[in-house]
């Protein structure tokens, strides 16, 4: 093309890393001491994973199953997003680290009885003495770049699973794949619906750290209020707690002040805080074992609810109480949502916002469902079949959120001016018990009076 610069046949591209001389390469290959992992190192879920794999195995006799950890995703240029393994892989192997990218768990059919042998295809710790430069040159696998990774024998001890070297994904045998095969994905999601006691403990730990993070946020309010991007201040404060106590946040923190609270997943968090407004904080710590909490509190930034804020808050709270009371084994998953929505619709009709509580016009102001399963994923087990989840019945050991909300958009001409721009969600985490449900997030206050008292105590009166 006229005027364009001809491209050379061979582009020499590279990052800012300098080339390695033969002398340096030889030097780097020698003189290292052994540094083994502790002989008793085990993944925390080691005792639980064999039974989980057995339950999966029983569903697919004679079929090879592949459960990938997933691949790193480029953020931009030569930088990657932080890696977090797929939940099904973590659940079946107990491996939860950033170093798991590319790894694949294979359940290999073994014998006529229909069982499976688990085999982990992994990238083991690269050799140092063989001339392999990976350990000091490779940004994704080199231990001088990303840290120590186990060798094959160490990985077997950690997991109790036979480990083999992954020679590229094309070397994997064909089989059902947990990401692309909807049947395997659904079975894996449904197997995770009921949590074992160890998982409930991990979730409780995540909830407790999340409660501490909410306290951090309240203590930080004076400085956040003074900053032009106060929502970011709050996100940062909670994020610090999440990284200190666990793997990070289980989802992007929603720090929504004023009318931003009417945006369900407001994660831009770039607004200021106005002391006359509410703050909707929806945040969860994800444990090192990758279980996440999911809690929302809507707080008056002045420390006191105004009369109209309190009125909206109390209606949402009443809806949440009704929803939580509907949780028990054998209840339909939709029952607690219906209970929440009944209270909301009645309340809106009492206020004259709705002409009558029948029908689904209230959904203009509630926008989404009233809760979901919680576990390794914030919206846990989302690939389950409807008959096992959305249209199914609850069972002991399931962990759910109950999170009704009212979102009065600032430009909603159906509403009186005083309601516009108010958004309230109250979200708690519960585990279904033999005869009801246990509130896991009860450490955080829920009534307006308790919220005000709690904020007052944290803010020093």
Q: Considering only the stretches 65-73, 156-164, 328-336, 423-431, report the one whose residues sit in contact with Mn ion under the rule CB under 5 A.
A: 423-431
Closest distance of CB 324 from ligand GLY, Å:
15
> Can residue 429 be called a binding residue for ligand GLY (CB under 6 A)?
no
Q: Which of 282, 321, 428, 452 binds Mn ion (CB under 5 A)?
A: 282
Q: Using CB distances below 5 to 8 A depending on partner kind, what does residue 251 bind out of Mn ion, ligand GLY, none?
A: ligand GLY
Closest distance of CB 450 from Mn ion, Å:
20
Total residues in contact with Mn ion, by rule CB under 5 A: 4
Q: Considering only the stretches 145-153, 175-183, 279-287, 356-364, report the one whose residues sit in contact with Mn ion under the rule CB under 5 A.
A: 279-287
HEC letters along the chain: CCCCCCCCCCCCCCCCCCCCCHHHHHHHCCCCCCCCCCCCCCCCCCCCHHHHHHHHHHHCCCCCEEEECCCCCEEECCEECCCCCCHHHHHHHCCCCHHHCCCEEEEEEECCCCEEEEEEEECCCCCCCCCCCHHHHCCCCCHHHHCCCCCHHHHHHHHCCEEEECCCHHHCCCCEECCCCHHHHHHHHHHCCCCCHHHHHHHHHHHHHHHHHHHHHHHHHHHHHCCCCHHHHHHHHHHHHHHHHCCEECCCCEEEEHHHHHCCCCCCCCCCCCCCCEEEEEECEECCCCCECCEEEEEECCCCCCHHHHHHHHHHHHHHHHHHHCCCCCCEHHHHHHHHHHHHHHHHHHHCCCCCCCCCCCHHHHCCCCCCECCCCCCCCCCCCHHHCCCCECCCCCEEEECCEEECCCCCCCCCCCCCCCEEECEEEEEECCCCEEECCCCCCCCHHHHHHHHHHHCCC
Footprint (CB under 6 A) of ligand GLY, residues 324-383? 378
> Which CB atom, from 251 or from 351, has the smaller least distance to ligand GLY?
251
The site map against ligand GLY for 246-285 (x = CB under 6 A) is: -----x------------------------------x---
Closest distance of CB 75 from ligand GLY, Å:
23
Which residue of this chain has its Cβ atom nearest to ligand GLY in the complex?
Answer: 282
Closest distance of CB 264 from ligand GLY, Å:
8
> Can residue 403 be called a binding residue for ligand GLY (CB under 6 A)?
yes
Q: Considering only the stretches 167-175, 179-187, 208-216, 422-430, report the one whose residues sit in contact with Mn ion under the rule CB under 5 A.
A: 422-430
> Can residue 294 be called a binding residue for Mn ion (CB under 5 A)?
yes
Q: Considering only the stretches 20-28, 206-214, 314-322, 426-434, report the one whose residues sit in contact with Mn ion under the rule CB under 5 A.
A: 426-434
Helical axes 307-325 vs 448-458, angle rounded to 10°: 110
Tokens at 319, concatenated: 């809806």
The site map against Mn ion for 353-392 (x = CB under 5 A) is: ----------------------------------------
> Which CB atom, from 294 or from 452, has the smaller least distance to Mn ion?
294
Total residues in contact with ligand GLY, by rule CB under 6 A: 6
> Can residue 401 be called a binding residue for Mn ion (CB under 5 A)?
yes
> Can residue 309 be called a binding residue for Mn ion (CB under 5 A)?
no
Q: Considering only the stretches 12-20, 144-152, 393-401, 445-453, report the one whose residues sit in contact with Mn ion under the rule CB under 5 A.
A: 393-401
Catalog residues that contact ligand GLY under the rule CB under 6 A. Answer: 251, 282, 294, 378, 403, 427
- Interface residues toward Mn ion, by CB under 5 A: 282, 294, 401, 427
């Amino acid at each position: 093309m006229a005027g364009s610069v001809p491209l050379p046949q061979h582009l020499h591209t590279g990052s800012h890393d300098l080339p390695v001389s033969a002398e340096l390469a030889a030097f780097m290959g020698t003189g290292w001491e052994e540094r083994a992992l502790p002989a008793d190192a085990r993944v925390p879920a080691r005792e639980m994973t064999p039974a989980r794999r057995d339950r999966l195995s029983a569903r697919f006799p004679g079929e090879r199953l592949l459960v990938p950890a997933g691949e790193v995703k480029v953020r931009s240029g030569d930088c990657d997003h932080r890696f977090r393994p797929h939940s099904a892989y973590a659940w079946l192997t107990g491996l939860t680290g950033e170093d798991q990218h590319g790894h694949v768990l294979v359940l290999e059919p073994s014998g006529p009885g229909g069982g499976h042998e688990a085999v982990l295809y992994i990238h083991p710790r690269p050799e140092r003495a063989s001339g392999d430069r990976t350990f000091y040159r490779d940004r994704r696998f080199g231990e001088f770049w990303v840290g120590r990774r186990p060798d094959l024998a160490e990985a077997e001890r950690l997991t109790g699973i036979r480990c083999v070297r992954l020679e590229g994904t094309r070397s994997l045998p064909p089989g059902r794949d947990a990401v692309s095969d909807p049947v395997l994905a659904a079975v894996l999601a449904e197997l995770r619906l009921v949590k074992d006691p160890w998982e409930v403990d991990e979730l409780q730990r995540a909830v407790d750290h999340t409660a501490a993070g909410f306290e951090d946020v309240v203590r930080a309010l004076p400085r956040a209020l003074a900053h032009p991007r106060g929502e970011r201040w709050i996100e940062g404060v909670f994020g610090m707690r999440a990284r200190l106590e666990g793997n990070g946040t289980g989802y992007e923190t929603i720090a929504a002040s004023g009318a931003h609270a009417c945006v369900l997943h407001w994660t831009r968090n770039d607004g200021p805080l106005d002391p006359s407004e509410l703050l909707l904080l929806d945040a969860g710590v994800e444990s090192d074992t990758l279980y996440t909490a999911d809690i929302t509190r809507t707080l008056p930034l002045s420390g006191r609810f105004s009369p109209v804020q309190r009125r909206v808050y109390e209606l949402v709270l009443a809806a949440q109480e009704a929803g939580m009371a509907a949780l028990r084994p054998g209840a339909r998953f939709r029952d607690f949502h219906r209970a929440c929505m009944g209270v909301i619709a009645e309340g809106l009709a009492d206020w004259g916002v709705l002409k009558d509580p029948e029908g689904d016009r209230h959904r203009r102001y509630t926008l989404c469902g009233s809760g979901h399963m919680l576990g390794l994923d914030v919206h846990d087990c989302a690939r389950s079949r409807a008959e096992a989840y959305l249209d199914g019945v609850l069972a002991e050991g399931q962990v759910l959120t109950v999170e009704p909300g009212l979102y009065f958009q600032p430009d909603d001409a159906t509403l009186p001016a005083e309601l516009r721009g108010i958004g309230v969600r109250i979200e708690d985490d519960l585990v279904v018990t033999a005869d009801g449900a246990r509130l896991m997030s009860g450490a955080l206050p829920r009534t307006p009076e308790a919220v005000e008292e709690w904020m007052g105590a944290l803010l020093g009166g």
